[in-house]
């Protein structure tokens, strides 16, 4: 059975490129800073949000389809809402 691409090599590459990048990260959904030291399924843990969700035809291999978010923000958004698709995330050197 084919996977969704959220746990393979491509997803790990996106994680390294976005979450582990040296820049300061801001959640694309709530605009609060992301603390990379938090792990697991905690609300403020880092997560990758797909701009166009896989369930809505988003490409899991397209780097421009990912943006950093908090796990809680990403979970609340889910795959059904597309009201914030046009928002862009930014990185800065300091908060």
Q: Are 41 and 71 spatial neighbours (Cβ–Cβ below 8 Å)?
A: yes
In a domain, 74, yes or no: yes
Q: Name the nearest CA neighbour of 51 among 88, 90, 85.
A: 85
Structural domain total, the chain: 1
Please give the residue range of the domain that contains residue 59: 9-78
Say if 70 falls within a structural domain: yes
**Is 3 within the bounds of a domain?**
no
Give the pLDDT of residue 16: 84
For residue 29, list its beta bridge partners. none
Q: What tokens appear for 28 in the block? A: 């694309």
**Cα separation of 2 and 71, whole Å?**
25
- Asked whether 22 and 74 are in contact (CB, 8 A), the reply is no
In a domain, 86, yes or no: no
CA pair distance 11, 35, nearest whole angstrom = 20
Residue 57 covered by a domain: yes
pLDDT tens-digit map of 6-56: 667 777 888 888 888 878 889 999 999 999 899 888 999 999 888 888 878
pTM higher than 0.75 for the full model? no
| Any domain includes 14 | yes
Domain-embedded: residue 88: no
Residue 47 lies in a domain: yes
């Amino acid at each position: 059975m084919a996977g969704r691409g959220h746990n393979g090599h491509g997803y790990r590459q996106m994680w390294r490129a976005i979450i582990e990048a040296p820049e300061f990260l801001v959640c694309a959904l709530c605009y609060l800073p992301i603390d990379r030291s938090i792990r697991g399924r905690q609300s403020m843990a880092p997560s990758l949000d797909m701009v166009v969700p896989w369930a809505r035809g988003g490409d899991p291999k397209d780097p421009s389809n990912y943006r950093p978010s908090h796990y809680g923000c990403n979970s609340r958004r889910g795959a059904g809402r597309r009201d914030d698709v046009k928002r862009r995330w930014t990185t800065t050197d300091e908060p």
